Structure 1
Amino acid sequence: MKNQIILILVPFLLLTGCNQGSSEATQQEELEANVMAIHDDAMARMGDIYKLRRSFRSLRDTLAARQTDSATLQALQQQIDELNQADEVMMVWMRNYTAPDSLQPEQAKVYLQQELQKIERVQTVMDSTIQAARKTYQQYEQQK
């Protein structure tokens, strides 16, 4: 009788264990997909940062040639610096990120949760910087 119970329980326990393992793997895959989706979106925003930075430099140079007041030129340079910082925040995250392939499932999950929070902060910094830069550019573009 004991042998029959053991024969019934062992496969059941193995199947239950396999389902939990695949669930952890699925969670890890979903977390990694979320991290990469935000990364990909942020990478697309890098083009916006590049274009805005180029526009600000051109505007700054045009206004400097017209001998615009130094406060305006400093404001434009500050916006360029903020765009550079937003760019650098993304570059730092990318340099520090490594795929969690060599980590145990639980460690990988923790790592990916941390990376998700980091890349969300990067995205917030980039979005707010881009939004502020566009607003500032519109104000100064009229002076051109």
Structure 2
Amino acid sequence: MGGFIPSGEATPAEEAELPNLDFYPAIVPAEFRSAMDVDTTVSTERLRLALQLSLMEVNRSLNDWAMAQIADGIATLAETTYVEYGSGETAVNHQEKLYQAAVFHLGKSRIIEHLRNFDSTGAGHNKADELSQPIDDFKREARRSVRAIMGQTGTVVELI
């Protein structure tokens, strides 16, 4: 009896962080893999592309707000708030964590959208339909994080 065991070529420890604009923090692919439960069956190239497109989209969403912060003399996202959780090397900056969440959730939605294309059987179509809800959930979480960075509240509306 034979079997196929997929194995990716990605080595998370060796994946270089993604550079970003000076105002925003860099994105670390290994942290994304760990936080969003993305294994090495997703190649390094595919993961980097999803994260790069996602950080560009988040940056574009925050552009006007970020330009206003820079005009006020604030050089980085981390400086826009004084809320830090923990201290020393384990300290977590609220704004940077929200930014990371926005990029990570959009990145995960892009990866799931791509995975939907692999199986064109009836079962594959059913699985693709099941993945639509998580994709929407990830995109919604990204929007919430972006709004939270800007200090805007959100409203949950249920359609009847």
TM over 0.5: no
* Structure showing greater relative contact order (alpha-carbon pairs closer than 8 Å, 6 or more residues apart): 1
- TM-score, scaled to structure 1: 0.43
Q: Which has the higher helix share?
A: 1
- TM-score, scaled to structure 2: 0.40
Larger Rg: 1
